[in-house]
Amino acid sequence: MMSDDASALSTAQRLRQEIENDIAAGLLIPGERLDEVSLANRFQVSRTPIREALQQLAMAGMVEIRPRRGAVVASLTPERLYEMFEVMAELEAMCCRLAARRLGPSDALALERAHRSCEAVRHDHDAYYRANEVFHQAIYAASGNTFLAEQARLLQRRLQPYRRLQLRVRNRVQNSFSEHERILAALMAGEGEEAAGIMRPHVQVQGERFSDLIASLKLLGAA
Amino acid sequence: MMSDDASALSTAQRLRQEIENDIAAGLLIPGERLDEVSLANRFQVSRTPIREALQQLAMAGMVEIRPRRGAVVASLTPERLYEMFEVMAELEAMCCRLAARRLGPSDALALERAHRSCEAVRHDHDAYYRANEVFHQAIYAASGNTFLAEQARLLQRRLQPYRRLQLRVRNRVQNSFSEHERILAALMAGEGEEAAGIMRPHVQVQGERFSDLIASLKLLGAA
DNA sequence: GAACACTTCCTTGTATACAAGAATGATGAG
DNA sequence: CTCATCATTCTTGTATACAAGGAAGTGTTC
């Protein structure tokens, strides 16, 4: 009556989220087989809603369904990964440009808080990884374009298993944090192009960072 | 043996494409109810694969599934539509920037051919609409980033029902064509930023064009 | 005459049964 | 000993039956 609950989820959607989380968290490795019966047993449902969830994940690009041959966690080639990071960098740069123009007081506050959270945990890789995610999401939201924010969030999630390993590289956290600082300053100053210009290489993997990524890819494959 | 057929589609995927086509073509109006039994009868299958197709379409943002209350063709608010066009413009601008750098001979040929097709049919709105689509897709492909191309294609498809009506506006075809010409020239000259700068407003709807779009939205609702 | 409640019907959600296509292992030939 | 072919088994794909939650229509009451 007061607020019609838009968070009402069908079973298939809940199942999708659960499986998606496992993929993002690295519990399900790229290339791993997703057996319908096992999943059904695990979640105590029949195969029907499991299949519906898998179809959703296939559209999201997180699993690959080979007809009559089952579903596997989608595995990305180095080329494709590079392409996705290229797009991610541009989406986030766009968020910066828009955010600088449209930044409201509450957005600014959220950004600063997220940034301080990053600072607080910058010696703990895993914690920094999570705080970093929140900081970037704050920028998406600040863009004022909810569709853009959703798309960025989606792609971020899709790249999560790969990004995760990447931060372990030496000094990456320190560099990441100081880049955040510059981005934040530019946004507050309303310098959208400036912020976008820092964001792009901050996100994109190229040169030696790309090599590092490929290395972690191989680690993933070996697991 | 020679080429493993990646085009092998499951039934659910075929059904999704069919329904998606109907939505894009405007046969299914935003807000319209998608009855599982009717669809099942129409395609001569049971409800199971229909439901799988609907779940896919929900992930693609083309239908909305309200739990226990059925699926409807997704209807976009003017705000959301504006947001989506804003992102579309940026994606296409990005394609331009990349294409100018990476343009190969076959890409250039495809672009010129698509452009000449547009010219040939520029007095027929519907034919121009289709040729226009091909021209833009040629640019996506020329970006050399297949992921970007796919995303652009996806969003283009999602906006199709709205874009379609939009071209009917007076002089829009003529303006569109001359913008194409300038984009093409910039791309061939390797001027990525130049091409991107023309592409952005070419795609984005703003000012009076946005009003036109809202007007067609209302037409759509009345049908 | 209008509003509310109750009942009925219709649609969606889920499980299960069955069909049919891969994968696997065994058996035989080279 | 290796490779190919065939049978068996396992998994996916689809239909259908049943359950359960909305929607709509009817009747009653104020």
| Mean pLDDT (whole number) for B10-22 | 97
pLDDT score of A5 more than 80: no
**Closest amino acid to nucleotide C20 (CA–C1'):** A68
CA dist., res. B131 & res. B141, Å (int): 15
Task: Kindly give, in sequence order, each residue whose CB lies less than 8 Å from that of residue B85, ignoring residues fewer than 6 positions away.
Answer: B159, B203, B204, B205
**What confidence score (pLDDT) does residue B213 get?**
80
CA dist., res. A103 & res. A123, Å (int): 30
User: At which residue do the structure tokens 């990646």 appear?
Assistant: B6
Whether residues B151 and A66 touch (CB distance < 8 A) is answered with no
**What confidence score (pLDDT) does residue A111 get?**
98
Of all residues in chain A, the percent with pLDDT exceeding 70 is 93
Q: Which helix (H) or strand (E) holds B193?
A: helix B192-203
Q: How confident is the model at residue A216 (pLDDT cuts 50, 70, 90)?
A: confident
Per-residue pLDDT tens over the stretch A122-176: 999 889 999 999 999 999 999 999 999 999 999 999 998 888 777 677 788 899 9
User: At which residue do the structure tokens 């693609």 appear?
Assistant: B60
Domains, chain B, ordered by start = 11-73 (1.10.10.10), 78-222 (1.20.120.530)
Of all residues in chain A, the one with the smallest CA distance to B8 is: A67
pLDDT score of B2 more than 60: no
Show the tokens assigned to A142: 């600040």
Whether residue B164 contacts residue B129, with contact meaning beta carbons closer than 8 Å, is answered with yes
Whether residue B190 contacts residue B103, with contact meaning beta carbons closer than 8 Å, is answered with yes
Q: At B9, is the secondary structure helix, strand, or coil?
A: coil
Name the nt closest to A49 by C-alpha to C1': C14
For residues A57-94, one letter each, b for 16 or more C-beta atoms within 10 angstroms of the residue's C-beta and e for the rest, the string is bbbbbbbbbeeeeebbbbbbeeeebbbbbbbbbbbbbb
pLDDT score of A208 more than 90: no
Nearest chain B Cα distance for residue A119, angstroms: 31
CA of B69 to C1' of C7 (A): 20
pLDDT score of B220 more than 70: no
Least confident of A28-32, A35-39, A200-204, B214-218: B214-218
| Dihedrals phi, psi of A20, to nearest 5 degrees | -55, -45
| Dihedrals phi, psi of A146, to nearest 5 degrees | -65, -30
pLDDT score of A84 more than 60: yes
**What confidence score (pLDDT) does residue A164 get?**
75
Average pLDDT of the residues of chain B: 91
Q: Which residues touch strand C (CB under 7 A)?
A: A 10-12, 44-49, 68-69; B 33-37, 47-48, 51, 65, 67-71
What is the predicted ipTM? 0.92
Chain A residues near residue B94 by CB distance under 8 angstroms: 87, 90
Show the tokens assigned to B61: 């943002």
Whether residues A147 and B83 touch (CB distance < 8 A) is answered with yes
pLDDT score of B5 more than 50: no
pLDDT score of B26 more than 80: yes
Q: Where are the beta strands (DSSP E) in A28-140?
A: 33-34, 63-66, 70-73
Chain A residues near residue B84 by CB distance under 8 angstroms: 147
* Cα B31–chain centre separation: 19
Whether B209 sits with its Cβ under 7 A from any strand D atom: the answer reads: no
- For chains A and B, CB pairs below 8 A equal 64
Whether B68 sits with its Cβ under 7 A from any strand D atom: the answer reads: yes
CA angle, corner B2, sides to B1 and B8, nearest 5?
A: 70
| Mean pLDDT (whole number) for A53-76 | 97
